[in-house]
Structure 1
Amino acid sequence: EKRLRGHHSSEETTDPPPHEEVEIPQSQQEEEEEDMVEIVTTGDRDVLHEGHFTSESAQILIGEIMGCNRDLKNIQKNINDVKNKMKNIIDVLERV
């Protein structure tokens, strides 16, 4: 499933967190295939539904939240930068 990502400003210098590969033990994998477990996608990560929620999937979600928080901070910084530019433009126009 492709997801659209927001366009990032050229001012952003942070890199996205590295993707971690997770290997499911064979016995758990076979059990899941038998039970036909539904999997949902959050970003680029797969998380099992409630019945098979593990500390590993919780860590994946925490990583996703941290990534979203980083993105929100970058967006807020960009908003503040634009507000400051607008304020400066208005100040210059008021002098004219």
Structure 2
Amino acid sequence: EEEEGDLVEIVTTTGDRDVVDSGHFTSESAQILIGEIMGCNRDLENIQKNINDVKKK
């Protein structure tokens, strides 16, 4: 029987969802998530730049 906190839900930018046993939450999977977050951050920065460009016109 698993106790609360033994599962980790992973949601990616493509909307994929995965629930994994926290024992399988590895450095590699953390690096993948960090890459996803960095990609989202870059996209948000580009959107903000585009909004600012439109406001200037």
| TM-score computed with the length of structure 2 as normaliser | 0.65
Change (3 A) 1:52 1:79: same
- Aligned-residue offset at 1:81: 0.5
Task: Give the total of aligned pairs.
Answer: 48
Higher strand share: 2
Change (3 A) 1:39 1:80: closer
The aligned amino acid for 1:42 is T
Unaligned residue ranges in structure 1 (runs of 5+): 1-37, 86-96
The aligned amino acid for 2:33 is L
Unaligned residue ranges in structure 2 (runs of 5+): 1-7
Give the conservation status (yes or no) of the 8 Å contact 1:48–1:57: no
What percent identity do the matched residue pairs reach?
Answer: 75
RMSD (Å) for aligned C-alpha atoms: 2.4
Larger radius of gyration: 1
1:43 corresponds to 2:13: yes
3-state SS, counterpart of residue 43 of structure 1:
coil
| More RCO (CA 8 Å, sep 6+) | 2
| TM-score computed with the length of structure 1 as normaliser | 0.41
